Amino acid sequence: MDVQLNSGYFNQITLPKLIIGLIITLSSTFSLAVTTSSQSSLTPVTMCVFDIIGKNGPMHGIMSEYKTAAMKWGVDLSFKSYTNDRIAAEDFNAGICDLVNLPGIRARNYNHFTGTINSIGAIPTYKHLNLILSTLSTPQASKYMRQGDYEVVSISPTGALFGFVIDRSINSPEKLAGKKITVLDNAPESEYLVKSTGMTPIKSTITNALQKFNSHVVDITGAPAIAYEPMELYKGLEPNGGIIDWPLHQTTMQIVARWTKLPAEFGQNSRNYSREYMSTFMEVIETSEERIPKKYWINIPKEVKVAWNDTHRENRIALRNQGIYNAKALTLFRKVRCKLDPTLAECTSDNKE
């Protein structure tokens, strides 16, 4: 892996009103100076904008600021709104738009490398994530951002995905067998993960997965902290549930483009823009985690974390061998883990990712 490490918008789930307000307040400081070129000199491009609550949602507010920045890069963006990420992707495929923002797990259809960011257990903390996203936003990593006709022009953090359980006793890998878990249709690795742990998969969409958890139709679901308040996940956590305080994986929102439809430097300019404001969005994510009552968090002992890590690593290697995860991406993630903690067993293991 020859990408050099260097240390240095939002998830498919609606943000709490407090967080939305913070984003809107912060976004007013994000505007970049628009070029003095006339409007006619800009390249017109349509973007399919996915926001689960539509034109009045936080993603549209973020994209309006992105539109201002894009004008500086020679592009005049117009938006087509979607509340379903699958339909947004289908219209992008059909050529109705040449840019689209998608959850990282769906963006994998366009870039195998960036689609591996959500691999299970590969990026355990936000410190790891910051180092990885900073590395991937550099010009040296640009070759990994293109795959065929498509280029990932932005990768933004949307929060760690935690396991929400209706029973606090479900807190280690060996206790997953027989439990019902929500599985999304666009997560091909889910079938393997569920089968390897003996869980029972319940096919779900992004929204109804959390509704099923609240109704105790399932024992386990995954969600970032920003989903807790707007999706009222405290209903599913009562009376005996909890949140496993050890991320299953990191979620992202990625902007995918047909690079041939854009000015030559658009992709790198866009990635620079995302990197510049990454820390601000991380503050929003961390605030949403801090707002969850402490009583719900299930602290995981060190020995259990080791068990989770071993299970996750075995799954990543198996999914890499099946072609679901990108081998070069997994190698980068391992290098970051070992850079931040050289004592990890995997850092000296012969069976490396």
Q: How far is CA 274 from CA 262, 278, 319, in A?
A: 17, 6, 29
Query: Is the Cβ–Cβ distance between 72 and 276 less than 8 Å?
Result: no
Tokens standing for residue 161: 């995905």
- Same domain, residue pair 184 and 145: no
Count of residues for the chain? Answer: 353
- Same domain, residue pair 121 and 166: no
User: Among candidates 231, 196, 203, 207, which has minimal Cα distance to 218?
Assistant: 203
CATH of the domain at 258: 3.40.190
Tokens standing for residue 62: 């973020």
- Same domain, residue pair 245 and 261: no
| 225 in a structural domain | yes
User: If residue 297 lies in a helix (H) or strand (E), which one and from where to where?
Assistant: strand 297-298
Q: How far apart are CA 98 and CA 266, in angstroms?
A: 13
Find the angle CA(232)-CA(53)-CA(21) to the nearest 5 degrees: 75
- Same domain, residue pair 174 and 213: yes
- Same domain, residue pair 236 and 269: no
Residue 294 is classified by DSSP as G
Helix (H, G, I), strand (E, B) or coil at 341: coil
Q: How far apart are CA 353 and CA 99, in angstroms?
A: 32
Q: Identify the domain containing residue 120 by its residue range.
A: 17-157+252-294
The total number of structural domains that make up the chain? 2
Query: 99-103 and 75-82: which strand pairing?
Result: unpaired
- Same domain, residue pair 245 and 257: no
Q: What is the pLDDT along the chain (353 residues), one digit of tens a residue?
A: 444 444 333 333 334 443 444 343 334 333 333 333 445 589 999 999 998 777 887 788 889 999 999 999 999 999 999 988 889 999 999 999 999 999 998 999 999 999 999 999 999 999 999 999 999 999 999 999 999 999 999 999 999 999 999 999 998 888 999 999 999 877 777 778 788 889 999 998 877 899 999 999 999 999 999 889 988 999 999 999 999 998 999 999 999 999 999 999 999 999 999 999 898 889 989 999 999 999 999 998 888 888 888 888 999 999 999 999 999 999 999 999 999 999 988 898 877 78
The model's pTM: 0.84
